[in-house]
């Protein structure tokens, strides 16, 4: 699921140039649609955490996969700049549910190897850059950017919605224990709320430091992912070579996530 959704999001870099060529918009105005998804994703993720606790990851991810896929299907009909912002705003609603349901589910299912399995989920970003983005670029070359958007949207809907049906909030629902739990660990689902509330967390220095670190990291990282292909092709590098650079960046992520 994470690979399909992250791959769709980061494929913006390979759609950037053909969209600019057709409509003649500025780079700043066009890339603003991608920036919009990150702003909304961050803000909406707070609400997704509460919804995930209420309705469970299966329903949340099913809806998220459909909404993201729908956004990319609509992008195939793009005709004006305001539509780009509207459609990517829709995509951001679904993208806000990529990490919260998946990471919280992993935390509930694993006691032993929890950090490793969390890294496996996060590694989906790097794998997406190595697999989905080159595939989207190939689709653009063979079928045009509009049909490529249709293909990306359908891939997201099929993969994410199908995979979401296998998600369960925690093993206790199935009468099982989390991996590595010897039976003495308190049930996550039965213990009630623990730790800090959202308001209490906002008053801690650690939360703000972590938020600052993530802001700086993704600010730099996303500039590279959005502009790498269009910058490299402008310097005479082929589109496949430019996408290869993005895939290389994705490969560098894998050891770090682990």
Q: Is residue 15 part of a domain?
A: yes
Per-residue model confidence (pLDDT) at position 183: 65
Average pLDDT over residues 128-153: 92
Burial label, 117 (beta-carbon count in 10 A; 0-12, 13-18, 19+): middle
CATH for 17: 1.20.1250.20
Domains in the chain, number: 1
pLDDT value of residue 145:
95
Closest CA to 136 of 118, 121, 149: 149
Domain assignment present for residue 176? The answer is no
Compute how many other C-beta atoms are within 10 angstroms of the C-beta atom of residue 60.
24
Residue 72 has pLDDT above 90, yes or no: yes
pLDDT digits (tens, 9 = 90+) for 230-247: 888 888 888 888 888 878
The model's confidence at residue 253, banded by pLDDT at 50, 70 and 90, is: low
Could you tell me the pLDDT band of residue 258, with boundaries at 50, 70 and 90?
low
> How does the average pLDDT of the chain come out, rounded?
84
Q: Is 204 helix (H, G, I), strand (E, B) or coil?
A: coil
Name the DSSP letter for residue 184.
Answer: -
Residue 184 pLDDT grade (very low, low, confident, very high; cuts 50, 70, 90): low
Confidence at 143, pLDDT banded by 50, 70, 90:
very high
**pLDDT of residue 96 exceeding 90:** no
Residue 142 lies in a domain: yes
* Stretch among 60-64, 159-163, 191-195 having the lowest mean pLDDT: 191-195
- Assess if residue 201 is contained within a domain: yes
In the chain, helix, strand, coil percent, each to 5? 80, 0, 20
Overall average pLDDT of the 69-77 stretch: 95
Instruction: Give the integer Cα–Cα distance in Å for 173 and 258.
Output: 29
**Structural domain boundaries, residue 52:** 2-171+197-257
According to the model, what pLDDT value does residue 74 have? 96
Residue 190 predicted with pLDDT over 60: no
pLDDT over threshold 50, residue 188: no
With H, G, I as helix, E, B as strand and everything else as coil, classify residue 77: coil
Q: State pTM to two decimals.
A: 0.83
Cβ atoms within 10 Å, residue 50: 11
Task: Give pLDDT, residue 3.
Answer: 83
Which tokens sit at 164? 């979401």
Indicate whether 85 belongs to any domain: yes
Residue 179's DSSP bridge partners are: 110
pLDDT of residue 81: 94
Confidence at residue 193, expressed as pLDDT on a 0 to 100 scale: 44
pLDDT at 243: 84
201-229 per-position pLDDT tens digit: 788 988 889 888 878 877 777 777 788 88
Tell me which residue of 84, 89, 101, 91 sits closest to 26, measured CA to CA.
84
- List phi, psi (to 5°) of 197: -75, 170
Question: 3-state SS of 108-150?
Answer: HHECCCHHHHHHHHHCHHHHHHHHHHHHHHHHHHHHCHHHHHH
């Amino acid at each position: 699921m994470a690979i399909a959704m992250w791959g769709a999001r980061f494929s913006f870099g390979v759609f950037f140039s053909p969209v600019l060529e057709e409509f003649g918009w500025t780079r700043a105005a066009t890339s603003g649609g991608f920036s919009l998804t990150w702003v909304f994703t961050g803000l909406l993720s707070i609400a997704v955490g509460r919804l995930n606790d209420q309705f469970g990851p299966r329903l949340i991810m099913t809806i998220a996969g459909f909404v993201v896929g729908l956004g990319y299907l609509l992008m195939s009909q793009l005709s004006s700049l305001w539509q780009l912002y509207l459609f990517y705003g829709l995509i951001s609603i679904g993208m806000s549910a990529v990490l919260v349901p998946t990471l919280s589910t992993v935390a509930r299912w694993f006691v032993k190897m929890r950090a490793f399995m969390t890294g496996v989920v996060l590694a989906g970003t790097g794998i997406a850059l190595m697999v989905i983005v080159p595939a989207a670029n190939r689709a653009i070359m063979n079928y045009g950017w509009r049909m490529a958007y249709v293909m990306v949207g359908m891939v997201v809907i099929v993969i994410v919605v199908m995979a979401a049906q296998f998600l369960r909030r925690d093993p206790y629902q199935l009468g099982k224990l989390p991996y590595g739990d010897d039976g003495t660990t308190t049930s996550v689902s039965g213990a009630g709320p623990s730790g800090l509330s959202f308001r209490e967390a906002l008053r801690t220095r650690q939360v703000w430091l972590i938020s600052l670190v993530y802001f700086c990291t993704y600010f730099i990282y996303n500039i590279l992912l959005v502009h790498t292909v269009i910058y490299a092709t402008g310097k005479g590098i082929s589109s496949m070579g430019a996408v290869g650079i993005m895939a290389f960046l994705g490969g560098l992520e894998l050891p770090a996530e682990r």
